[in-house]
């Protein structure tokens, strides 16, 4: 698998909507220095989660389904994630250079 080869992928809860639905955040990149990420020793003030640090990498933030009727965004995002997980040389280069933060459905209350 790509993760076994050195990629890092994590799904976590970003927020809950007013309707109580999950808004997930996917973090996709390449492992840094053999470890998934360097955990900062201090915990974030909210939620007690540890912040992850990927040194010397720029961030790419992608969100989809901000407005419920934007269904093509789901297909675009699926293609992006499929490409990043493909293991191709181009995908691995991007994963080594950038940290991709992806919010697949920003407004799940409106999508139902």
Q: One digit per residue, pLDDT tens: the chain, 112 residues?
A: 677 778 888 899 999 999 999 999 999 999 875 444 444 333 344 455 555 678 788 999 999 998 878 889 999 999 999 999 998 999 999 999 999 999 999 999 987 7
What pLDDT was estimated at residue 39?
A: 40
Question: Which pTM was predicted?
Answer: 0.80
d(C-alpha 17, C-alpha 68), whole Å: 14
Number of Cβ atoms within 10 Å of the Cβ of 37: 19
d(C-alpha 52, C-alpha 34), whole Å: 14
What pLDDT was estimated at residue 97?
A: 94
d(C-alpha 112, C-alpha 74), whole Å: 14
Q: Are 40 and 50 in contact (CB under 8 A)?
A: yes
d(C-alpha 37, C-alpha 33), whole Å: 8
What pLDDT was estimated at residue 33?
A: 57
């Amino acid at each position: 698998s790509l993760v076994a080869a050195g990629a890092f992928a994590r799904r976590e809860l970003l927020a809950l909507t007013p309707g109580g639905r999950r808004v997930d955040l996917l973090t996709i990149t390449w492992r840094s220095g053999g470890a998934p990420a360097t955990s900062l020793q201090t915990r974030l003030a909210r939620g007690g989660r540890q912040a992850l640090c990927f040194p010397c990498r720029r961030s790419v933030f992608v969100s989809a389904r901000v407005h419920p009727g934007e269904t093509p965004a789901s297909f675009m995002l699926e293609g992006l994630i499929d490409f990043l997980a493909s293991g191709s040389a181009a995908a691995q280069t991007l994963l080594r250079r950038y940290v991709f933060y992806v919010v697949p459905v920003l407004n799940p209350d409106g999508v139902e």
